[in-house]
Amino acid sequence: AQTVTQSQPEMSVQEAETVTLSCTYDTSENNYYLFWYKQPPSRQMILVIRQEAYKQQNATENRFSVNFQKAAKSFSLKISDSQLGDTAMYFCAYRDSNYQLIWGAGTKLIIKP
């Protein structure tokens, strides 16, 4: 069975700094999809970024980018020029062959002014 591990329960950085959130996963599949979701205090789940496993190029969305290392089964999220509004829980997720998401436990990110 697939598993997703986020080893950092909580992180905090100063505004404008760069922060990297780690995510590793375990799977025997060759093609799959990975996602990062953000859950701010409003509790709304928001898709941040996505990556297809067969694409070697790392996905980027404005200040958000991933470092996808397929062989290492690693999918870290980098947030550049962090802003106060980035304060949230961040969840890494793997889409399995049943189209269901396997979730990590989340990382609480606090951006300090």
Contacts of 98 (CB under 8 A, 6+ apart): none
Q: Choose, by CB under 8 A, the member of 2, 11, 13, 50 that binds other proteins.
A: 50
What's the min distance (Å) between Cβ of 26 and other proteins?
18
Whether 95 and 35 have beta carbons less than 8 Å apart is answered as yes
Q: Choose, by CB under 8 A, the member of 43, 62, 77, 81 that binds other proteins.
A: 43
Which region, judged by CB under 8 A, interacts with other proteins, from 11-19, 22-30, 63-71, 102-110? Answer: 102-110
Q: Sort residue 41 into left (φ over 0), alpha (ψ -120 to 50) or beta.
A: alpha
Interface with other proteins includes 11 (CB under 8 A)? no
Interface with other proteins includes 30 (CB under 8 A)? no
Write the burial class of residue 84 (CB in 10 Å: 0-12 exposed, 13-18 middle, 19+ buried): exposed
What's the min distance (Å) between Cβ of 52 and other proteins?
7
Phi, psi of 56 (to 5 degrees): -80, -25
Binding residues vs other proteins (CB under 8 A): 33, 35, 37, 39, 42-47, 50, 52, 89, 91, 95, 98-101, 103, 105-106, 108
